[in-house]
Amino acid sequence: MLVDTPVCDFGWKAPDFTLKDPDGRAFKMLDYLGDKGLLVAFLCNHCPYVQAIADRLALDTCELMDNGINVLAVMSNDYRFVPEDSPQNMKLFAEHYGWKFPYLVDDDQSVGKAYGAVCTPEFFGLNSNGELQYRGRLDDAQMENTKDRKRELVEAMRQVASTSEGPRQQQPSMGCSIKWS
C-alpha cells in the first residue's frame, strides 16, 4: 500500500534509541547526532520504492557523511511477517548497494513507533540539538538523469548542517507502509 508521510513538525525533539545492526553491534542515536546533525532513514529491503533509490541513496549518504553529517538507517518492519527484511537479508542488501551507514534492526518496532514513521523510505533530518528539520523524500524521482535531478535530501541536510534549520518547503516521502506486528 502506497502512503505519504506527514509534514515536518519543525523542532520536534527526536527520542534517543539504541539498536543493533545484523552483526549485533549496538548503535546509540545520540552518539551519532554530531555538530552537523543526523539523518535517520527508515528503510527495508523488500519495498520497491527503497529498491528504486538504493543506488542513489548510497551516493548521497556518502556525500553527506563526507561533509560531517551522520546517517543511521532503521528497519522497523516485522521481518517475521516479511522474511525478505530479516537481519541476514538486511546485511546482504546493504552490501549489495554499497551502503556505508549502519543499517539497524528495530526488532520490537519501538523506534518506528516513537518517530511516527509510516513508510519506507522515510527520512528524518535532525539538527545538532536532535530537533526535526526535514521530513521528506530523497529526491525528485521523476528525473531519470542523476545529473539533473533535484537532490532534495542532500540540499536540505546541507542547510540543516549550516543553519540548524531545514527548508520550509518540503515534499513528503512516499512508499510502502511499515509492516507492523
- Nearest-angstrom CA–CA distance, 49 and 20: 24
Would you say 73 and 103 are in contact if contact means Cβ atoms under 8 Å apart?
yes
What lies within 8 Å, CB to CB, of 38 at 6+ separation is 29, 32, 69, 70, 71, 72, 125, 126, 130
Tell me the domains of the chain and their CATH numbers: 2-11+33-177 (3.40.30.10)
Question: For the segment 11-44, what is each residue's pLDDT rounded down to a tens digit?
Answer: 999 999 999 999 999 999 999 999 999 999 999 9
Would you say 156 and 166 are in contact if contact means Cβ atoms under 8 Å apart?
yes
Question: For the segment 68-124, what is each residue's pLDDT rounded down to a tens digit?
Answer: 999 999 999 999 999 999 999 999 999 999 999 999 999 999 999 999 999 999 999
> In the numeric block, which cell numbers belong to residue 173?
516521502
- Nearest-angstrom CA–CA distance, 130 and 132: 7
Rounded to two decimals, what is the model's pTM?
A: 0.94
List C-alpha distances in Å: 123 to 22, 97, 145: 21, 18, 22
Q: Is 65 helix (H, G, I), strand (E, B) or coil?
A: helix
Is the pLDDT at 142 greater than 60? The verdict is: no
